[in-house]
């Protein structure tokens, strides 16, 4: 589903997932988890 959203553009998908992951890490760090 995730790949289909980007029309099979793997690099774009990976970039999006990467940004999401780094944002998640920042949120966890700010919460002190």
Q: Which segments of 1-33 does DSSP mark as H helices, in order?
A: 2-5, 10-31
pLDDT greater at residue 3 or residue 11: 11
pTM of the entire predicted model: 0.38
Indicate whether 10 pLDDT > 80.
no
Residues 15-32: tens digit of each pLDDT? 778 778 888 888 888 988
Determine the pLDDT at residue 14: 75
pLDDT band with cut points at 50, 70 and 90 for residue 2: low
> Sign of torsion, CA 20 21 25 28?
positive
Q: How far is CA 14 from the centre of its chain?
A: 7
């Amino acid at each position: 589903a995730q790949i289909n959203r980007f029309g099979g553009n793997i690099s774009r998908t990976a970039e999006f997932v990467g940004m999401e992951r780094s944002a998640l890490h920042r949120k966890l760090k700010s919460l002190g988890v």
